[in-house]
Amino acid sequence: MSFLLAHLSDPHIGPMPRPRRRELLGKRITGYLNWTRGRSRIHDMAVLAQIIADVKAQHPDHIAMTGDISNIGLPAEFQIARRWLEMLGAAEDVSFVPGNHDAYVRGSIPDLARVFSPWTKGEKAESGGFPYLRVRGEVALIGLSSAVPTPFFIASGRMGREQMSACEALLVECAKRDLVRIVMIHHCPQSAASSIARGLSDGRHFEAMIKRAGAELIIHGHNHKQSVIYLEGPTRLTPVVGAPSASALRGLPHNRAGYHLFEVSGNYRDYKIEARARGLLPGTMIVGDLGRIRL
Kindly write down the DSSP assignment for every residue of 39-63, as one continuous string: IHHHB-HHHHHHHHHHHHHT--SEE
Residue 63, pLDDT score: 98
pLDDT in tens, 138-157: 999 999 999 999 999 899 99
Angle between helices 203-213 and 161-176 (to 10 degrees): 20
By C-alpha distance, which of 70, 55, 234, 64 is closest to 142? 64
- Inter-CA distances, 274 with 75, 126, 258, Å: 38, 34, 17
**CATH classification of 3-293, choosing from 3.40.50.2300, 3.50.50.60, 3.40.50.300, 3.60.21.10?**
3.60.21.10
Mean pLDDT of the 225-232 span:
96
pLDDT in tens, 161-208: 999 999 999 999 999 999 999 999 999 998 766 777 899 999 999 999
Is residue 289 a contact partner of residue 276, using CB atoms and an 8 Å limit?
yes
CB-side neighbour CA atoms (13 Å) of 128: 7
Distance CA 73, CA 108 (A): 6
Bigger pLDDT: 196 or 88? 88
Which residues does residue 220 pair with via DSSP β-bridges, in sequence order? 242
Kindly write down the DSSP assignment for every residue of 114-142, as one continuous string: HHTGGGS--TTTTT-SSSEEEEETTEEEE
Amino acid identity of 77?
A: E
Biggest CA-to-CA distance, the chain: 56
Amino acid identity of 42?
A: I
Is 252's pLDDT higher than 80? no
Q: Is 84 helix (H, G, I), strand (E, B) or coil?
A: helix
How many Cβ atoms are within 10 Å of 272's Cβ, its own excluded?
A: 12
Q: Taking the mean position of all CA atoms in its chain, how far away is CA 125?
A: 20
Residue 126, pLDDT score: 54
In the chain, where are the structural domains located?
3-293
